[in-house]
A and B are shown apart, each in its own frame.
Chain A
């Protein structure tokens, strides 16, 4: 089966750092994606990990441990506009492309 777990909600303060965790159990693994989705809008791509370790992209970093089936998204210097849902998704198949399996999303609220 395919299972991806992430917390439902998180709250953080403007200017702070927040870490959103994701654990997965899937039939295969060929990459993990993080997407940001503002209410009523399309998901937009944030990061991609296929090898273990940390990928950094400005204020956003994503970490992967394949042996633990675990990833996190780290957001630094939080801004009010970071209030959104953050979706963790796994691409289970070896061949390039193919479907993504999404977690339920983590609703992040950034408070002043």
Chain B
């Protein structure tokens, strides 16, 4: 296993279309996180899962955003009716809750451009 993977790496879509991103975490990791990052800013938390349970969602996450982790392995993030303001890098991270570090390992991200 080489780390967290995300697909696709780049997505260009027109405003109003729906998009879905996939994240495959490190295989034994039980926590999975989604963040959004815009140019010149740090990552901004969106939501996270422990196994298949979604434990927290940011208040910034509108109803157009939904995330799932159906079997506690991979996760999908869907954005409905995309807007130009959704253009950003969407980062996925995973971690294993066994010690105080609980270090999050990040994937390469999916860069979304909404035209």
Q: Are A99 and B102 interface neighbours, CB within 8 A?
A: no
B interface residues, tally (CB under 8 Å): 28
Given A42-B91, A42-B109, A43-B43, CB of A100 within 8 Å of CB of B100? no
Tell whether, in the assembled complex, residue A97 and residue B102 are in contact, meaning their CB atoms are under 8 Å apart. Answer: yes
Q: From DSSP, what is the main secondary structure of chain B's interface residues?
A: loop
Distance to closest chain A CB from B23 (angstroms)? 12
A27 smallest CB distance to B (angstroms): 13
Chain A residues closer than 8 Å to B58, beta-carbon distance: 99
Residues of A86-112 whose CB lies within 8 A of B: 87, 89, 91, 96-105
Q: Any chain A CB within 8 A of the CB of B2?
A: no
- Assess whether B103 is in contact with A45, with CB atoms less than 8 Å apart: yes
Give A105 to B35 CA distance when docked, in angstroms: 15
- A7 within 8 Å of B (CB atoms): no
With A31-B100, A104-B42, A105-B41 given, is the CB distance from A99 to B56 under 8 Å? Answer: yes
A100 touches B109 (CB 8 A): no
Inter-chain contact B106/A102, CB cutoff 8 Å: no
Q: Given the known A-B contacts A42-B108, A97-B95, A97-B97, are A102 and B102 also in contact in the complex, defined by CB atoms under 8 Å?
A: no
Q: How far is the CA of A50 from the CA of B70 in the complex (A)?
A: 33
Which residues 36-72 of B sit at the A interface, judged by CB distance below 8 A?
A: 40-45, 48, 50, 56, 58
Is B33 a contact of A104 with CB atoms below 8 Å? Answer: no
Query: A42 touching B106 by the CB < 8 A rule?
Result: yes
Complex: A104 Cα to B108 Cα, angstroms: 18
CA distance A50 to B103 in the complex (A): 13
Q: How far is the CA of A42 from the CA of B91 in the complex (A)?
A: 8
Considering only residues 23-45 of chain A, those with a C-beta below 8 Å from chain B are 31, 33, 35, 41-45
Chain B positions within 8 Å of A97 at CB level:
31, 48, 50, 95, 97, 102
